[in-house]
Chains A and B, each alone.
Chain A
Amino acid sequence: MRRSVNGSMEAMTSLKRILEVSNLQTHFSTDNGVVKAVDGVSFHIDRGETLAVVGESGSGKSVTSLSIMRLLEAPHGRIVGGSILLEGEDLVRKTEAEMRRVRGNDISMIFQEPMTSLNPVYTVGEQIAESIRIHQGKTPQQAMKRAVEMLDLVGISEPARRAKTFPHQMSGGMRQRVMIAIALSCNPKLLIADEPTTALDVTIQAQILELMRDLQREIGMSILFITHDLGVVAEIADRVVVMYAGRAVEEGSVLDIFARPRMPYTAGLMNSIPRIDRAAERQERLLAIVGNVPSPFSLPQGCSFHPRCGYVQERCKAAVPPLEDSGDGHMVRCVRWNELDLRQQRKSA
């Protein structure tokens, strides 16, 4: 919890703060036991800001976004603790009917695979118009007119004709534009984008990222961008939360995290990517992180990353390290952050 206790300060922060997630815990009950998919995650997003949540499979990044949308499949997935404040209102306590008004109106979401998110038997125009009708109470004619405007906004040429086509008649990049049109059709305050460009080619990814940046400038919504790709993070985010095995392990401004990673996992990820802009100084071998992403059923004791960490000490195995502020709001979950110079390792590596 990083909220100010000072009353007037709090009022000021809450004005610019769209989302405040505090100590979120989301568990899944399975035949093999309880999985703590999200285990005490806290972060915030300000107005007009883009926060990237980066992590590998099993890190809990997608479950975090589904928790915010309250889209977890009952009874298996449950939010068991923490709060999700959207402009001060706790989404965790809302009824299903109240949540339905939040989704689409206040928060909307786009996913990795646009084909599975679109209905194959309706035209894309009808699908955009549907959300406008439901959330804004427009007539079918008004809604369709707005749908065509939205297609134009997301850069689809001949929008009136395109509105009458079906999802299968479009390419992957075009479908993702339609998803963005649906998501933005009701002017949400927050857009959650869960790996929106992962299924796309790099040239199309570049188009979609550019579109998202342009739209954010125009509309001013905040973006929660979930990805595994540090290149995409560097390109789109203002701030970053790095997740590993259900916990946030590092958080900070994008410039700070890339220049001074303080958690060995973050530094390891950065080192393991072959970079086309550094081809000249390339190594004989890539600096891989050893071992595997841990199974959620048998998480290591203490720091979850310790079995793969090159800087591990006995104390790392004893207890889960706290998330500490290393200065300027750069948070890090590592008992050794003060003694390690991971930047040095990057250079000599």
Chain B
Amino acid sequence: MRMGTSHVRAGHSGHVAGRQASEQDNVLLDVRNLSKHFPTNGKLLSQSHASVKAVQDVSLHIKPGEVVGLVGESGSGKTTLGRTILRLAEPTAGEIVFDGVDITRLSNQEMRAYRRRMQIIFQDPFASLNPRFVVSDLIGEALDLHKLARGKARQDRIVELLELTGLSPDHMYRYPHEFSGGQRQRIGIARALAVNPQFIVADEPVSALDVSIQAQVVNLLQDLKEKLGLTLLFIAHDLGVVEYISDRVVVMYLGHVVEVAPAKELYRNPVHPYTEALLSAVPIPDPTVRRKRITLRGEIPSPINPPSGCVFRTRCPIATPECTKVVPPLEKVSPGHFKACIRR
């Protein structure tokens, strides 16, 4: 569904996104130098142009059928990045090339067709479902908005979606409060799938769920991915779940991508000191395992005044004066493995 030649991607080659993406020519989503800044409420009549630099010059690509995990602490910008990619927040700068078309330039009207192809699953299945709608309305709403099915076909499609997500057709006329957290998240997934999307941003889809339910929903997402050929951006702070479901993992810190690698490679051989510290902080459910822990000093700085040079340097155990001067570029470590650190 190309929207005209003017939007078709130009031949970038100079920057990192081009380099990363050029290793694989088959790309569904190519995010290039994307930034999202939020203006702060400055004092009245002040000249200040302070802004929260939530996402800063981020480039990444996702291949069709791939699951890319996005990890980082709260405040790293991972949720903002996910929402900006879907244009639920308007980007400040950069390009979002989806299936060959830069969607940042599309009008709202033109964007509609793309909204059907790109969906989102939210963290909190309690907050994201309208309590006054029954399940068939919650799921059917998406079908109505995009004029995908009516009457009997609509009904059949809803039943199909319920069965696909492990719910039962009996659930059609029940309200969200009648379901458990895990079932509600299944409804959220059914709703996202209703319009047959190609690409889904799953924003912390299991972190509000009980431990025994998380594995069910992760398994469901994996099955659906196989069955429907979905492409996923899986945002989570649980590094275990991300490792499990992802093909590749992107690590963010204070709005910047600091490391990208195939999942196994990243967990076995983290190169960036932040990735290393993050992984070492994950508690292992085995009291006999004793690991070397790299405890980070302090906390993530304010994105209004991020540190100069490398944004991680204020907490980095191996920072040098040089790190204050240079914004480290994403450099190749091995095929598919990139890091932004001048010390490693």
Task: Please give the residue numbers on chain A whose beta carbons come within 8 Å of chain B beta carbons, in ascending order.
Answer: 56-57, 171, 173-174, 201-207, 209-210, 228-235, 254-255, 258-259, 268-270, 272-277, 279-280, 282, 285-290, 292-293, 308
Partner of B285, one of A171, A173, A231, A282: A231
Q: Which residues of B contact A206 (CB under 8 A)?
A: 280-281, 283, 293, 295
On whether the beta carbons of B244 and A269 are closer than 8 Å, the reply is no
Q: Which residues of A contact B282 (CB under 8 A)?
A: 202, 231, 276
On whether the beta carbons of A276 and B286 are closer than 8 Å, the reply is no
On whether the beta carbons of A273 and B237 are closer than 8 Å, the reply is no
- Minimum CB–CB distance from B214 to chain A (whole Å) comes to 7
Identify the stretch in B96-104, B109-117, B216-224 within 8 Å (CB) of chain A at 4 or more residues: B216-224
On whether the beta carbons of A276 and B243 are closer than 8 Å, the reply is yes
Kindly state the separation between the CA atoms of A37 and B240 in the bound complex, as whole angstroms. Answer: 31
On whether the beta carbons of A56 and B243 are closer than 8 Å, the reply is no
Determine whether B45 belongs to the interface, using a CB cutoff of 8 Å to chain A: no
- Minimum CB–CB distance from B282 to chain A (whole Å) comes to 6
Supposing A274-B244, A276-B240 touch, asked if A293 and B213 sit within 8 A by C-beta, the answer is: yes
Other than the given A207-B296, A233-B285, 11 more pairs (CB < 8 A) read A171-B299, A203-B295, A206-B293, A228-B211, A229-B211, A232-B283, A235-B284, A254-B287, A269-B211, A272-B215, A282-B244
| Smallest Cβ-Cβ distance to A197: which chain B residue | B283
Kindly state the separation between the CA atoms of A280 and B73 in the bound complex, as whole angstroms. Answer: 25
Kindly state the separation between the CA atoms of A36 and B183 in the bound complex, as whole angstroms. Answer: 24
On whether the beta carbons of A288 and B215 are closer than 8 Å, the reply is yes
Q: Which residues of A contact B277 (CB under 8 A)?
A: 203
On whether the beta carbons of B241 and A279 are closer than 8 Å, the reply is no
Kindly state the separation between the CA atoms of A233 and B288 in the bound complex, as whole angstroms. Answer: 12
**Cross-chain pairs A/B with CB under 8 angstroms, 24 sampled:** A56-B211, A202-B237, A202-B239, A202-B278, A202-B283, A203-B73, A206-B280, A228-B210, A231-B284, A234-B284, A234-B285, A258-B286, A275-B240, A275-B284, A276-B243, A276-B282, A277-B286, A282-B244, A285-B222, A286-B218, A287-B215, A289-B212, A292-B180, A292-B183
- Minimum CB–CB distance from A196 to chain B (whole Å) comes to 13
On whether the beta carbons of B74 and A273 are closer than 8 Å, the reply is no
Dominant SS among interface residues on chain B: helix
Kindly state the separation between the CA atoms of A293 and B295 in the bound complex, as whole angstroms. Answer: 35
On whether the beta carbons of B289 and A277 are closer than 8 Å, the reply is yes
| Smallest Cβ-Cβ distance to A231: which chain B residue | B283
- Minimum CB–CB distance from B299 to chain A (whole Å) comes to 5
Partner of B74, one of A201, A229, A276, A287: A201
Determine whether B132 belongs to the interface, using a CB cutoff of 8 Å to chain A: no
Q: Which residues of A contact B210 (CB under 8 A)?
A: 56-57, 228, 293
Q: Which of B272-306 contact A (CB under 8 A)?
A: 277-289, 291, 293, 295-296, 299-300
Q: Which of B234-289 contact A (CB under 8 A)?
A: 237, 239-241, 243-244, 263-264, 267-268, 277-289
Kindly state the separation between the CA atoms of A171 and B296 in the bound complex, as whole angstroms. Answer: 15
On whether the beta carbons of B283 and A229 are closer than 8 Å, the reply is yes
